[in-house]
């Protein structure tokens, strides 16, 4: 089962708005209601999803859904991909659109504790 959701920066700091049902292990879907809930919780800054027993590399399906007509489908947002092995997150990678190279490139993830 794949996990997915929305990354939000709210008044009380960052938050994850999870999508509840993800039955397909190879792709994820975010319902409009989840995105609306996220937008009511703060500023949407990105999306996250897991790759069960996979790496953090973007899949063909990922790159398709991240673009519309060769441009980012959600300009300015970050896409966070989690590698989950045996039910445990072992790695993560964030991707942002690079307008010069016209592709998504990995960017550093800083965790503020």
Give me the residues that bind Zn ion (CB under 5 A), please.
Answer: 59, 62
Shortest CA distance to 9 belongs to which of 72, 71, 78?
Answer: 78
In which element (H, E) is residue 35 found?
A: helix 32-41
Select the residue whose beta carbon is closest to Zn ion and give its number.
Answer: 62
**C-alpha distances in angstroms, 36 versus 6, 22, 28, 31, 41?**
10, 18, 17, 9, 9
Q: Which is nearer to Zn ion, 38 or 83 (CB)?
A: 83
Q: Which is nearer to Zn ion, 27 or 41 (CB)?
A: 27
| Contacts for 43 with CB less than 8 Å, ≥ 6 apart | 8, 9, 10
Distance CA 45, CA 54 (A): 24
Q: How far is the CB of 62 from Zn ion (least distance, A)?
A: 4
Q: How far is the CB of 49 from Zn ion (least distance, A)?
A: 5
Q: Which is nearer to Zn ion, 41 or 59 (CB)?
A: 59
Q: How far is the CB of 59 from Zn ion (least distance, A)?
A: 5
Q: How far is the CB of 81 from Zn ion (least distance, A)?
A: 5
Q: Which is nearer to Zn ion, 41 or 52 (CB)?
A: 52
């Amino acid at each position: 089962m794949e996990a997915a959701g929305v990354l939000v920066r709210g008044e009380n700091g960052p938050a994850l708005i999870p999508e509840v049902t993800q039955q397909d292990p190879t792709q994820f879907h975010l319902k409009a209601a989840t995105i609306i809930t996220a937008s009511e919780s703060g500023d949407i800054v990105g999306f996250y999803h897991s790759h069960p027993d996979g790496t953090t590399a973007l899949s063909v399906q990922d790159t398709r859904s991240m673009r519309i007509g060769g441009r980012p489908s959600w300009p300015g947002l970050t896409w966070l991909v989690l590698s989950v092995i045996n039910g445990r997150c072992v790695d993560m990678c964030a991707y942002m659109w690079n307008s010069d190279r016209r592709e998504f490139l990995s960017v550093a993830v800083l965790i503020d504790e």
